[in-house]
Structure 1
Amino acid sequence: MRPLLPLIAITTTLAAGVAGCGGDGGGKATVLKPGEAISMQNLRFKPDHVQVTVGQKVTWRNDENIGHDVKADSGARFASETFDKGGTFSYTPTAAGTIKYECTLHPGMDGTIDVVAR
């Protein structure tokens, strides 16, 4: 009889890989509470996938010693100037949908906002 250990190891490795996909929370959006900010640190948005309600202000805060910006790629129209550590940028969505955004200064630094009706 052959041991099942190699099969179990492969299954566990595949499951762990799938669970880790999609940035923060394995692809599940973090509900952003009013007054909370999306942090910019280690060349990432944290959290990088959030959920807000229509009319809820979304604020990004630069927590790094390098400049960042925020620009909508789809689902909305906004673009900030470059801002340094401690600086912020805010946007208030007016309709439900999905917004994809990025820091244009740092390729791969991107995020998603799921906007839901109240």
Structure 2
Amino acid sequence: MRRLLPTLALAVLLAGCGSSDGGGGGKAEVLKAGDPIEMKSLHFKPDHVQVAVGQQITWHNDESVPHDVKADSGASFSSETFGKDKSYTWTPDKAGTVKYECTLHPGMEGTIDVVAKEATS
């Protein structure tokens, strides 16, 4: 058992080092036109996306708890609180990085990398 403890401790430590369900710390997922950012299990999925300037972004609430969407930096938008099967839409008008959150659920955060139209092709 004593030999096994260091191995188990290392396994537990390494398991906690992986990225979160939505991936926010890694590379952005290119969001295709018409695909929503889902609100599931108190997370944005995906939580790190890349879109082109002028590409409409829709957040869709897939769960029974209410949510909102509010820009923290890089843009200025703020939705009303909305419930299950409701959506909020925003269209970026300039390139840059946008950080946003659901103000009702601490830790429910996302990032949008907005790029010039020719950069997404």
Shared fold (TM-score, shorter chain, > 0.5): yes
- Interval of TM-score (by shorter of Structure 1 and Structure 2): 0.7 to 0.9
Match of 2:80 in 1: 81
Amino acid at match of 1:73: D
Deviations 1:66-102 (A, max 9, x none): 1000000000000000000000000000000000000
Match of 1:64 in 2: 63
Identity of aligned residues (%): 65
Alignment partners' CA distance in 1, 2:91 and 2:33:
11
Match of 1:24 in 2: 22
Structure 2 stretches lacking a partner, 5+ long? 1-5
> Offset at 1:23?
5.3
Deviations 1:17-76 (A, max 9, x none): 3xx236534511110000000000100000000000000000000000010000000000
CA contact (8 A) 2:77 2:90 kept: yes
Q: Structure 1 residue 34 and structure 2 residue 33: aligned?
A: yes
Alignment partners' CA distance in 2, 1:65 and 1:110:
18
Alignment partners' CA distance in 2, 1:113 and 1:92:
11
Alignment partners' CA distance in 1, 2:44 and 2:22:
9
Structure 1 stretches lacking a partner, 5+ long? 1-5
Alignment partners' CA distance in 2, 1:81 and 1:62:
12
Q: SS of 1:27's equivalent?
A: coil
Q: Aligned-pair RMSD on alpha carbons?
A: 2.2
Alignment partners' CA distance in 2, 1:22 and 1:63:
19
Amino acid at match of 1:68: H
Q: TM-score, normalized by length of structure 2?
A: 0.81
Match of 2:93 in 1: 94
